Amino acid sequence: MSLSVSLEGHATVLRVAGELDFSTVTEFEAFYKKHKPINGSVVFDLAGLEFVDSTGVGSLLAIWKELSQNQQPFSVCNLNEDVYEILDVMGVPAFLGEEHFKRSPF
Cβ neighbourhood burial of 87 (10 Å; 0-12, 13-18, 19+): buried
Task: From residue 60, give the alpha-carbon distance in Å to each of 9, 29, 41, 56, 94.
Answer: 23, 9, 16, 6, 15
CA-closest candidate to residue 86, choices 39, 22, 4, 20: 20
DSSP state of 101: B
> pLDDT for 64-90, tens place per residue?
999 989 999 999 999 888 999 999 999
What does pTM read for this prediction? 0.90
Q: Report the pLDDT value the prediction gives residue 106, as an integer from 0 to 100.
A: 60
The better pLDDT of the pair 4, 80 is held by 4
> pLDDT for 30-58, tens place per residue?
999 999 888 889 999 999 999 999 999 99
